[in-house]
Amino acid sequence: MILLALETSCDETSAAVIRNGRVLSSAVSSQIRLHSEYGGVVPELAAREHLRNLLPVTQTALRDARVKPGEMEAIAATRGPGLPGALMVGFQAAQAMAFALRVPFLGIHHHEAHLYSPWISGDPPAADFAAFQPNLSLIVSGGHTMLVQVESELNHHLLGSTVDDAAGECFDKIGKLIGLPYPAGPEIDRLSEHGDPKAYDFPRPMIHDGTDDFSFSGLKTSVRYFLRDHPGLPEEAQRLRDLCASVQAAIVDVLVAKAIKAALRLRVSCVTASGGVTSNRALRRQLTAACGRSHLELRLAPPGLCTDNAAMIGILAERKLAHGAKETGLEEEVLPNWQLDQAAASAP
């Protein structure tokens, strides 16, 4: 099967062409520069920017894959969760294409696509579902932090999530306090490489509370107080690096400890991780080391597919269609608050 997928749930406009589990092309146009001026994503601007970028990005994906629109056998798009106006742009364009081409249309849950992205590997990337095994999955993005039990392919349920800020949001908000540009996650990652993670002691919220939930707003508050008590510290280059490394260590310690604990409790032999924060080098290193110590196999989403992209949407859509998933009607609408477990319940 050959399929075109679109993703417009937040601030990346993306299109990808998938054929029989292979990513033939993946085009992403990021709006980060536009939103950084405002210190975060502005929903109205995001929707307008998607409108402007969607067709050029789709044309790039089709050209890179050397295919014509008429060759598509199915169309997929992110249906939710996400910003309503942003979601609508990709979802309705995909419905119109499916209508014009008379091919099946499938709306995909954004986090479900992140959830299966660790099963994409290689260069060029391709799905590797033959290697699939039940796993404990950590999804860490700008808006969500979740632990999910994946019992079998396309069959999963949410164990816990953040009760306040998501891990990516925590990186971004703390970065803003320190004076780093939006999104601060990648910048904190870069500065931390030459910083001392033990320089400053920040709380690891809920690390040993025995639940699968997370909370990061207390960490943000403690950094705020720390900065109040140490004015001018971020202006000193090495101290800034130490501060970033210490903050990063607090976030990563919690994510790793909770993921490993849940995996051992569930007696699975595999851990997976996906979402924008999975690009973080300290998180990748520490998860690798912790899984090694506990004899757990680790599958991380490939670096290029951690942040939002249409390739993961297309790979999951194709897999679902192959498993007999019901098409999404052309009269259906976006679901900005779609819960992961509701998407799983509607799985074939």
Instruction: Compare residues 240 and 266 and give the one whose CB is closer to ligand KG4.
Output: 240
Q: Of the listed pieces 59-67, 88-96, 183-191, 315-323, which binds ligand KG4 according to CB under 6 A? A: 183-191
For ligand KG4, the nearest residue by Cβ is 276
> How many other C-beta atoms lie within 10 A of the C-beta of residue 169?
23
Q: Of the listed pieces 61-69, 121-129, 141-149, 316-324, which binds ligand KG4 according to CB under 6 A? A: 141-149
Instruction: Compare residues 42 and 240 and give the one whose CB is closer to Zn ion.
Output: 42
Query: Which x/- pattern, by CB under 5 A, does the window 260-299 give for Zn ion?
Result: ----------------------------------------
Q: Which amino acid is at 170?
A: C
Structure tokens at 80: 């939710």
DSSP label at residue 233: G
- Least separation in angstroms between CB 184 and ligand KG4: 6
Q: Which amino acid is at 297?
A: E
Q: Of the listed pieces 88-96, 138-146, 157-165, 227-235, which binds ligand KG4 according to CB under 6 A? A: 138-146
Tell me: does residue 104 bind ligand KG4 (CB under 6 A): no
Nearest to 245 by CA among 192, 173, 288: 192
| Chain centroid to CA 79 | 15
What sign has the CA pseudo-torsion 45, 49, 52, 55?
negative
Among 10, 28, 61, 252, binds ligand KG4 (CB under 6 A): 10
Of all helices (H) and strands (E), which one includes residue 50?
Answer: helix 43-65
Among 81, 85, 183, 205, binds ligand KG4 (CB under 6 A): 183
Instruction: Compare residues 186 and 195 and give the one whose CB is closer to Zn ion.
Output: 186
Nearest to 137 by CA among 117, 122, 166: 117
Beta strand ranges found along 90-199 (DSSP E): 105-109, 120-121, 126-127, 135-140, 145-152, 155-161
Chain positions 160 to 179 lying near ligand KG4, rule: CB under 6 A, are 168, 171-172
Q: Which amino acid is at 186?
A: P
Instruction: Compare residues 141 and 215 and give the one whose CB is closer to Zn ion.
Output: 141
Instruction: Compare residues 26 and 279 and give the one whose CB is closer to ligand KG4.
Output: 279
Among 25, 117, 137, 141, binds Zn ion (CB under 5 A): 141
307 is in the binding site of which of Zn ion, ligand KG4, none (Cβ under 5 to 8 A by kind)? ligand KG4
Chain positions 298 to 317 lying near ligand KG4, rule: CB under 6 A, are 307-308
Tell me: does residue 11 bind Zn ion (CB under 5 A): no
Structure tokens at 46: 């995001």
Instruction: Compare residues 181 and 234 and give the one whose CB is closer to ligand KG4.
Output: 181
Chain positions 294 to 333 lying near Zn ion, rule: CB under 5 A, are 308
| Chain centroid to CA 142 | 7
| Chain centroid to CA 97 | 26
In the sheet that holds 297-300, the strands lie side by side as 155-161, 145-152, 135-140, 270-274, 297-300
Instruction: Compare residues 172 and 308 and give the one whose CB is closer to Zn ion.
Output: 308
Per-residue DSSP letters for 279-326?
G-HHHHHHHHHHHHHTT-EEEE--GGGTSS-HHHHHHHHHHHHHTTPP
Instruction: Compare residues 242 and 308 and give the one whose CB is closer to Zn ion.
Output: 308
Distance of alpha carbon 131 from alpha carbon 119, whole angstroms: 8
Residue numbers at the binding site for ligand KG4 (CB under 6 A): 10, 141-143, 168, 171-172, 183, 185-186, 189, 275-277, 279-280, 307-308
Residue numbers at the binding site for Zn ion (CB under 5 A): 141, 308
